[in-house]
Chains A and B, each alone.
With several copies, the nearest count.
Chain A
Amino acid sequence: MRIELNGAPTELADDTTLVGLIEDRLGGTRGAAVVVDGSVVPRSAWPQFRVADGQRVELITAVQGG
C-alpha cells in the first residue's frame, strides 16, 4: 500500500493502524499527533484507525520552539 507521509510517497503494509504507524516511526505515541487527509485524528481513535491506500498522512511531533 502506498500513502503520502509528511509529503513523501511511502510504502506501508496493509492493515497498518495509526498507532502502529506512529510507534513504528517514533517508538511510542507520546508527543505525537496525526492528520489524515486534512483532519486531525483523535488519539482515542488511533488503535482502530486503519490507514488506507493513497491517503495523505501528516505525522506531527513536539519540537524545540519559543
Chain B
Amino acid sequence: MADQLTIAGVSLSSRLIMGTGGAPSMQVIDEVLEASGTALCTVAMRRHDAATAGSLIDVIDKRGVRVLPNTAGCRTAAEAVRTAQLAREALETDWVKLEVVADERTLLPDPVELLDAAQLLVADGFTVLPYTNDDPVLARRLQQSGCAAVMPLGSPIGTGLGISNPHNIELIVAEAAEGGVPVILDAGIGTASDAAFAMELGCDGVLLASAVTRAQRPALMAEAMAAAVHAGRAAYLAGRIPRRRHAQASSPTEGMATF
C-alpha cells in the first residue's frame, strides 16, 4: 500500500510521528526511533545542561529522522514565537510543533494565545503544526491562518485516555480534508487500538510520546504503534462494514444436510 503522509509538500515514509519525551535513556530513544519506523520526531528547546549524557540530535540524525522542534512550556504567543525562532537557528528548520498551554495541570492549549502565535509564525515564514484541543472551530481558525497541519488532542497529554470525543475529530477531519490540510492526532494515545482508531476516523497521522517512551517495553510498544497506524490507515481505506443492530450469518442458511 503506497500511501504517504505529506506535510507542506514534504512526503514522509511513516504516518507515525514520535515524540522523544519521557524516554529513560538515549539508548531507548534510539531503539524506539528504529522500531517505530518514524520519519519525523519532536524535540524541545532547553538550556544546555552539561550533565546530560549523549546528544539527542546525534541519535536522531544517525537514524535519518527529520526533527520537529516544539514550543513546549510556552504560555504566551510571545514566548512561543521566540522559542520557535531559537529552534530555527538551532536545527536549521522552519518546521515547528506549536504548543501554547494554559496551565501545568491540564496542559490544554490556550485557544487565544495559540491562534495569535500561529498567525505570527506563519507570517514569519514558519511551517506551523499546532497542537490544539478538539474544538472544530479552533481547528478551522488555525487552518485558515495558514497552518501546515492541525494536531488535535485525543485527550490531555500523557493521560493515555485515548480519543475522548471521536465526533469532534471526525468534524475536524472533514473540514481539513476540504482545505487539503493533514490532521495529526496528537496527545492522549494510550495503546495501539487508540492509534488505529485515530486513523480509522480519517486522521492522516498520529503523534505520540509517553505511550511508547513510558511503556514497560518501549521498543516493543513502538513496533505496536507502527503496526496500529498502518492497520488503522488500511482499514480506513478498505471501507469497514456498517454497524448493524441485528446479526447477519456468515455461513449459508441453505443446504444443511438432512439425516
Contacts and interface: CB of A to CB of B under 8 A. Distances in A.
Name the residue among B43, B50, B52, B251 with the largest chain A CB count within 10 angstroms: B43
B48 A25 contact: yes
Contacts of B70: 65-66
Interface size class of B (residues with CB under 8 A): 35 or more
Given A30-B57, A62-B43, A65-B21, A6 B29 contact: no
Interface in A6-48: 6-7, 25-26, 30-35, 38-43
A60 B89 CA distance: 10
Contacts of B85: 40
Contact of B47 (A6, A26, A66): A6
B55 interface: yes
Given A35-B257, A59-B47, A66-B209, 12 more contacts: A7-B47, A30-B58, A60-B46, A63-B45, A63-B255, A65-B19, A65-B43, A65-B46, A65-B70, A65-B250, A66-B210, A66-B249
Interface of A: 6-7, 25-26, 30-35, 38-43, 58-66
B20 A60 contact: no
B227 interface: no
A43 B91 CA distance: 10
B42 A38 contact: no
Nearest to B107: A66
Contacts of A38: 259
Given A25-B50, A31-B91, A64 B86 contact: no
A32 B23 CA distance: 21
B48 A65 contact: no
16 contacts: A26-B48, A31-B55, A31-B90, A41-B89, A42-B89, A43-B89, A59-B48, A61-B57, A61-B90, A62-B56, A62-B67, A62-B69, A62-B91, A64-B252, A66-B70, A66-B209
